Chains A and B, each alone.
Chain A
Amino acid sequence: MKLKMLVLSLVTAVPLLFLSGCEMVVFQPQGPVARSIMELINWSLMWMLLVVVVVFGLFGYIVWKYREKPENMGYEPPEEHGSTVLEIVWTAIPILIVIALTIPTVTTLYDLEDVPAGYEEKEPVVIHVTSADWKWIFSYPEEGIETINYVNIPEDTPVLFKLTSAGTMQSFWVPALGGQKYSMNKMETELYLVADNPGSYMGRNTNFNGRGYAQMEFEVLSQTDEEYDAWVKEVKETAPKLTEEKYMELLKPTHLGRLTYSNTHLAWINHADHDSELVTDPEDYRYHGYQGKIFDQEDKKSNEKDTTDVENNEEDHGGDHSGH
Chain B
Amino acid sequence: MEVTIVGIKWDEILITGDPIILGSQIAILLTSLGIIGGLTYLKKWKWLWREWITTVDHKRIGIMYIVAAVLMFFRGGMDGLMMKAQTARPEMSILDSQHYNEVFTAHGVIMILFMAMPFLIGLMNVVIPLQIGARDVAFPQLNALSFWLFFSGAMLFNIAFVVGGAPDAGWTSYFPLAGKEFSPGIGNNYYAISLQIAGLGTLMTGINFIVTILKMRTKGMTLMRMPMFTWTTLITSVIIVAAFPIFTVALALMTFDRLYGTHFFTVAAGGSDMLWANLFWLWGHPEVYIVILPAFGMFSEIISTFSRKQLYGYKSMVVSIVAIAVLSMLVWVHHFYTMGSGALVNSFFSITTMMIAVPTGVKMFNWLFTMRKGRIKMTTAMLWSLAFVPNFVIGGVTGVMLAMGAADYQYHNTLFLVAHFHYVLIPGVVFAVFAGLYYWWPKMFGFMLNEKLGKWHFWLFVIGFNVTFMPMFFLGLNGAVRRAYTYSAESGFAPLFMLSAVGSVILAAGFAVFCYNIYWSIRYADRNISSDPWDARTLEWATSSPVQHYNFAKLPEVKSLDAFWYMKKNNEGITLKDEEIEEIHMPSNSGLPFLMCVAFGIVGFFLIFEWHLLAAVSTVLIIAGLIYRSFDYNDGYHIHKDEIRKTESTWKKMEGKVNNHVS
A binding-site residues for B, Cβ under 8 Å? 3, 7-8, 11, 14-15, 18, 23-27, 34, 36-38, 40-41, 44-45, 48, 51-52, 55-56, 58-59, 62-63, 66-68, 72-73, 75-83, 86-87, 90-91, 93-95, 97-98, 101-102, 105-106, 108-110, 112-113, 133, 167-169, 171, 175, 178-182, 184-187, 189-190, 202, 204-214, 278, 280, 282-283, 285-300, 318, 321-322
Contact = CB atoms under 8 A, between A and B. Distances in A.
A91 B362 contact: yes
Nearest to A275: B270
Interface stretch (B133-141, B244-252, B281-289, B369-377): B369-377
B103 to A, nearest CB: 13
Contacts of B343: 106, 109-110, 112-113
19 contacts: A7-B466, A41-B410, A59-B368, A66-B372, A67-B376, A77-B308, A78-B373, A83-B313, A91-B361, A91-B362, A167-B176, A169-B177, A181-B338, A213-B483, A214-B97, A280-B181, A285-B183, A290-B9, A322-B269
A292 B477 contact: no
A102 B350 contact: yes
B97 A292 contact: no
A26 B478 CA distance: 6
B312 A105 contact: no
Contacts of B221: none
Given A93-B361, A181-B409, A289-B15, 7 more contacts: A44-B404, A63-B371, A86-B365, A95-B358, A171-B412, A185-B273, A208-B174
Contacts of A212: 97
Contacts of A25: 477-479
A106 B371 contact: no
B406 A179 contact: yes
Interface string B351-372: 1001101100110111011011
Interface in B428-470: 459, 462-463, 466, 470
B265 to A, nearest CB: 11
B406 A105 contact: yes
Contacts of B342: 113
Given A82-B314, A167-B267, A210-B101, A55 B393 contact: yes
Interface residues of B, number: 114
Given A87-B316, A298-B269, A55 B97 contact: no
A152 to B, nearest CB: 21
A72 B409 contact: no
Nearest to A60: B390
Contacts of B308: 76-77
Interface in B158-178: 164-166, 168-170, 174-177
A168 B340 contact: no
Of B371, B409, B486, chain A has the most CB atoms within 10 Å of the CB of: B409
B463 A206 contact: no
Contact of B347 (A77, A106, A206): A106
B479 A18 contact: no
A292 B479 contact: no
Contacts of A38: 410
B49 to A, nearest CB: 33
Contact of B409 (A93, A178, A202, A294): A178
B149 to A, nearest CB: 24
Interface of B: 9, 12-13, 15-17, 97-98, 101, 164-166, 168-170, 174-177, 180-187, 189, 258-259, 261, 263, 267-270, 273-274, 307-310, 312-316, 336, 338-340, 342-343, 346-347, 350-351, 354-355, 357-358, 361-362, 364-366, 368-369, 371-378, 386, 389-390, 393-394, 397-398, 400-401, 404-410, 412-414, 459, 462-463, 466, 470, 473-474, 477-479, 481-487, 609-610
Contacts of A52: 393-394, 397
B338 to A, nearest CB: 5
A24 B478 contact: yes
A320 B487 CA distance: 44
Contacts of A110: 343, 347
A209 B477 contact: no
A186 B338 contact: no
B309 A77 contact: yes
Contacts of A112: 343, 406, 409
B393 A81 contact: no
B478 to A, nearest CB: 4
B361 A90 contact: yes
A78 B342 CA distance: 53
Contacts of A298: 263, 268-269
B373 A66 contact: yes
B609 A179 contact: no
A322 B267 CA distance: 11
Given A77-B307, A98-B357, A278-B267, A185 B479 contact: no
A227 B459 CA distance: 58
Given A26-B477, A204-B481, A208-B483, A169 B176 contact: yes
A109 B347 contact: yes
Contact of B186 (A94, A169, A184, A290): A290
Nearest to A98: B354
A132 to B, nearest CB: 12
A290 B375 contact: no
B110 to A, nearest CB: 18
A82 B316 contact: yes
A321 B263 CA distance: 13
A48 B338 contact: no
Contacts of A168: 176-177, 182
A18 B373 CA distance: 37
Contacts of B313: 81-83, 87
Contacts of B175: 169
Nearest to B358: A94
A91 B181 CA distance: 50
Given A14-B470, A80-B312, A289-B165, A207 B350 contact: no
Contacts of B486: 214
Contact of A48 (B166, B400, B479): B400
Contacts of B371: 62-63, 66
B101 A291 contact: no
A186 B477 CA distance: 31
A292 B8 CA distance: 11
A285 B182 contact: yes
Contacts of A105: 347, 350, 404-407
Smallest CB-CB A-B distances: 8 pairs:
A179-B409, A289-B165, A322-B270, A295-B261, A82-B313, A189-B340, A108-B406, A206-B413
Q: Which of B182, B368, B400 has most chain A Cβ within 10 Å?
A: B182
Nearest to A277: B268
A208 B312 contact: no
A68 B375 contact: yes
B375 A182 contact: no
A205 B484 CA distance: 10
A169 B406 contact: no
B268 A297 contact: yes
A185 B267 contact: yes
Contacts of B185: 286-292
A208 B97 CA distance: 12
Nearest to A91: B362
Given A113-B342, A208-B482, A297-B269, A90 B362 contact: yes
B410 A291 contact: no
Contacts of A67: 376, 378
Given A213-B483, A288-B15, A278 B181 contact: yes
Instruction: From A14, A58, A77, name the one whose CB has the most chain B CB atoms within 10 angstroms.
Output: A77
A210 B177 contact: yes
Contact of B340 (A34, A83, A181): A181
A212 B270 CA distance: 26
A182 B338 contact: yes
Contacts of B375: 66, 68, 72-73, 75-77
